[in-house]
Amino acid sequence: MAEALEIQEIQDKFLREASFNLTDLRTQVQLTYWSEQHFITQELLDLIPFGEILSNIRFYSYVDYSLDELVSKANSTLLYWRLSGVTQYDGTLVNQLSLFYSETFLWHYSAPSYQEEICSQLQSGHRVRFLSQFLLSQTEIEVEFNEIRLQTNFNNDFQFVYTDSNTYQYKFANLRWQPICTILSFPLINPPTFSLPITVPNALRRETEYQAYLIQVQGLPNNIHIQDHY
């Protein structure tokens, strides 16, 4: 019993001194999540680009240069979970987190603000992606992307639809990222299979927060822009 108390005191001391820079997921309008744990490190959140429209250049830059850093920041969040002792509904320690993109933010704030750029990219043969899911557990990390496509509607205008795209998985057991799903060829305009975005937004009376985050996204470097040279 005394040994257990001593271990707990050491954990508490380390937790205080580690000074984790935490952010509350309940305040984030660009994502939704499933977990009993509401906090992750801000450094990890900064590397999860929910709500951004990803051009080819931005996407491949993220895959080539950010995924390894994502592992490091994810480990910090896992360490915080272990030290904080936050439990799930069944009393066991929190050991996983699933984040999903906010359909309201992406389809009714972010994508419409870049409609001209997205249409130009797709009509020029360039793929446009967005992060759709992030999974973190004690054994793996997974990031999943979807792609925006154009579908001709009854008025012969284009509307946004989306399809599956790339998924990357990192196993802590083998210490490397692997692509587990790659869509190599798919029509960018009028794809044979697709999903429709939501038509009615649900901002939950947080319209001011949604607009504020849109301004933040628009100010990020390497975002979607006209790239006829690519």
Over the stretch 186-219, which tens digit does the pLDDT of each residue have?
799 999 999 999 999 998 899 999 999 999 999 9
Over the stretch 5-47, which tens digit does the pLDDT of each residue have?
444 444 444 454 456 899 999 999 999 998 777 889 999 999 9
* Neighbouring residues of 80: CB distance < 8 A, sequence distance ≥ 6: 15, 18, 20, 22, 39, 40, 41
Classify residue 228: in a domain, yes or no: no
Q: How many helices (H) and strands (E) does the chain have?
A: 8, 8
Classify residue 181: in a domain, yes or no: yes
> Half-sphere exposure of 106 toward its Cβ, with a 13 Å CA cutoff?
27
Question: For the chain, how many structural domains are there in total?
Answer: 1
State percent of the chain over pLDDT 70: 88
Average pLDDT over the chain, rounded to an integer: 87
Classify residue 116: in a domain, yes or no: yes
Classify residue 125: in a domain, yes or no: yes
CA distance 82 to 93: 8
Classify residue 225: in a domain, yes or no: no
CA distance 83 to 78: 9
Residue-number span of the structural domain to which 175 is assigned: 2-218
Classify residue 173: in a domain, yes or no: yes
Classify residue 59: in a domain, yes or no: yes
Is residue 88's pLDDT more than 90? no
